[in-house]
Structure 1
Amino acid sequence: MDQGLAGLIGAVVGITGALGAAYLAGRGQREQWRVQLRRDTYGQFLARTKRAERAGKAVRLAMDSGRFEPGLYATFAAAVAEAEESLALVLLEGPWSVASSAEDVVRHLDGWRWVVELWYDGDGTLTLERALESAGRDEDRFTQELEQFTNEVRRLLHGRDHTLTARLAYRLAARHSA
C-alpha cells in the first residue's frame, strides 16, 4: 500500500472516530437533559401535592375542632387545582408507570377535596362525622399513592428500588409538615 492511501485511510478512521465520539457525547448530553427535565417535572408535582396535603390537613383539623372557615377550603381547592395542573406535565413526560401513579395520587386528592366541598356546600345530608371519616379515608389513600409515586420516580431516576428509603423520607417530611 502506498503512503497516500495509508494516509487517506488514517484520516478516514480519525474522522470517523471523532464523529462517533461527538455523537456519543451528544447522546449523553441529551440523556442528562431528559433526566433533569423529568426530575424537575416530578419535583414540581411532588411540591404541589404536598402543598395540597398540608392545606387538606388544615381543613380537616379545622372541621374536627369546629373552627372551619371558607378560606381554608378555598386554599385547599386551589392547591388541588395546582396539583392537577402539574399532573398534565407528568402525563406528558411519562413513562406510563409514573404517570399512572401520579393519576392515582390526584384522584384521591381530588376525592378528599370533593368530600370537603360536599360537606361545606352540600344540602346537609353529609354529616360532619361522615365527612371526616370519608376525608380521612381519601387522605390515607392519597398518602399511600404518593408514597408509591415517589418510589416509582426514584426507581426510574436512580435505577434502584427505594421503597424503604421513600417510606422513611415521606414519614420524616410528614412529621415536619404537620
Structure 2
Amino acid sequence: MRKYPRRLYEVGKTPVQNRSMNHSCYLSNIQTVREELGEDVWSELRESAIGVIVKLKELPYIWSAKVVHHFLADQLAIESSHEIWSLINDSMPLQFWLEMNVPTSDGPTLLELQAILPICRNWPREKRVMIGLLCLLSIGIFGISSNSRIPLHCAKRVMDTAAFQ
C-alpha cells in the first residue's frame, strides 16, 4: 500500500480562489459541440449540473476562464510549488472508453472528443449526452489545452448521471 501526502483540501471543500490552473478555455469550441450533437442533447446539456457553461457561451459578452477557480478538489499537499499531485481513482472506465477509442487508463482529450463528434450522431442519446458533458468539462470547467487529458476520475463521472449531477 502506497502512502501519499495528505489532501490539500478537505473532501467537499472548495479550493481557495488565489490558486488556479493553466486555462486554455475557448468557449468558441462549444459551438462545434452544439452543431455535432444536436439540439435535443444541447437542451439537456444546458440543464445539466455544468449547464452554466452553455449559458455563459450564449451570453453576449466575452468570458474569461481566468475567473474560474482551482477545480481539482483531490489535490494533495506537496512541497513543490511547481507540481500538482491529485488522487486518481483506481477503477477502470466501462466499455464507453473503448467505443470512443480512448485509452482506458486516461480521460479523453478534447481532440479525441472532437474526432468522435462526426461519427456519434447515430449513437444513443445518453452516449451523446456523455460526449457533450466531457466536451464541456474539457472546455469550460478545466479549461485545458485541446491535447490535455481530462482527469480520469472526473471524466468517469459522466457515466453515472446521478453522481455527475
Q: TM-score range by the shorter chain?
A: under 0.3
With the length of structure 2 as denominator, give the TM-score of the two structures.
0.27
TM-score (norm 1): 0.25
Q: Which has the larger helix fraction?
A: 1
Higher relative contact order (CA 8 A, sep 6+): 2
